[in-house]
Amino acid sequence: MIFKLSEEQELLKKTVRDFAESEVAPKAAEMDENEEYDWSLWDQMAEMGLTGIPFPEEYGGAGMDNLSYAIAVEELSRVCASTGVLVSAHTSLGSWPIYHFGTEEQKQKFLVPLAEGEKIGALGLTEPSAGSDAGSVKLTAVADGDEYVLNGTKIFITNGGRADIYVVIASTDKSKGHRGTAAFIVEKDTPGFTFGKKEHKMGIRASYTYELVFENCRVPKENMLGGDGKGFKVALATLDGGRIGIAAQALGIAQGAFDQALAYSKIREQFGKPISANQGLQWMLADMATRIDAARLLVYRAAYLKDEGQPYGKESAMAKLYASECAMWVTTKAVQIFGGYGYTREYPVERMMRDAKITEIYEGTSEVQRIVIAANLLK
């Protein structure tokens, strides 16, 4: 095994870190406070090619691998988890299914502007009664002439409201259960497609989470993605890859909180010495660093397997499970190291702790990850 990034991956890591620290970090606290994203950052990321990292150049992407993509999400999340999930949901959930399941026409029409960052992507899967149970979606799509008519609602949609292109999972034949589902590409401003309420969240507050409402929304038949009956398959395959993005986000949050806590422990003095001189605190730092490193190896392995064209469903679930629980644990310790200051909004660690929690929930809770892992072990 070779535990070494390539020259390109090293340069990407350095470049994204520079960008994140210089451009994103100064805005992170304010964006969180106001629940508003500064979209000039998106324009900068599009300019740099961070909006289509793992897609081939012919489709507007950077032609890099999935490991590079994971590293970029990690570095962005290290300073701002909302920016991390913006890129992750756009890339893994909104763009990847079109890249993987789309026809050449669909790729030219939708993937190219997504990868170039001219448009933003999102996935519409979750419903009030269908989250990880992707087969029980109630949103219906009924064929009518050259179109499908969509009716129903989606909730908790990351990048909702702001995204231009949505991959929406619908039921085309309720009697067939998950075999009666299909994915559709729906553009913002399609008549009958509106946004419901915006969620006000504990963390990733600069990420937009909306309800999508479809009322007799007519979508052209050529916007069906992956074929009729394949909606469930599109959803599950997308989530397998999406988990790498969320695992990378969790890893970045953990690293960011650790870097803050380590630096603080060296300058904060109590009883005439830096608090890092206390062994109790040193052990905390050692455990934090060790868990982060383990999480990183799991995340990078999952991305590597995907790049190698090998199965990665189990490994991406392991990475997502471990990295998200690591992020929650590490950020809690980081707040502890900062003491009373850590509990205030003067320092970023309380934001990181709030941001970490969602990584244990979305794109499959920790419990669902364990189900996925066990199902792979027992099959």
Residues noted as catalytic: 363
215 lies in the site for other proteins, by CB under 8 A: no
263 part of the interface to other proteins, by CB under 8 A: no
Closest CA to 300 of 258, 247, 371, 350: 247
CB of 17 to other proteins, least distance (A): 10
Contact 168, 98 (CB under 8 A): no
Stretch that binds other proteins, among 3-11, 102-110, 126-134, 267-275 (CB under 8 A): 3-11
Structure-block tokens of residue 139:
């949103």
| Residue in 18, 133, 222, 346 binding other proteins, rule: CB under 8 A | 18
Among 5, 25, 29, 48, binds other proteins (CB under 8 A): 48
- Check residue 25 for interaction with other proteins (CB under 8 A): no
Report the distance separating Cα 200 and Cα 227, nearest Å: 35
d(CA 51, CA 87): 7
248 is a contact residue toward other proteins (CB under 8 A): no
Binding part of the chain for other proteins, among 47-55, 158-166, 327-335, 368-376 by CB under 8 A, reads 47-55
CA 183, CA 226: separation in Å to the nearest integer? 7
Binding mask 54-93 for other proteins (x = CB under 8 A): ---x----xxx---x-------------------------
> Rounded distance, CA 81 to CA 111, Å?
24
Q: Which is nearer to other proteins, 49 or 121 (CB)?
A: 49
Question: For residues 199 and 259, which CB has a smaller minimum distance to other proteins in the complex?
Answer: 259
Whole-number Å distance between alpha carbons of 59 and 130: 32
Pick the closest to residue 91 from 123, 132, 58 (CA basis): 123
Smallest gap from Cβ 271 to other proteins, in A, equals: 17
Among 272, 184, 269, which Cα is nearest to 230's? Answer: 184
Sole window of 41-49, 186-194, 310-318, 371-379 interacting with other proteins (rule: CB under 8 A): 41-49
Cβ distance to other proteins smaller for residue 14 or 345: 14
User: How far, in Å, CA of 362 to CA of 204, rounded?
Assistant: 12
Rounded Cα gap, residues 143 and 320, in angstroms: 37
Residue 183: strand, helix, or coil:
strand
Where does this chain bind other proteins (CB under 8 A)? 7-8, 10-12, 14-15, 18-19, 44, 47-50, 53, 57, 62-64, 68
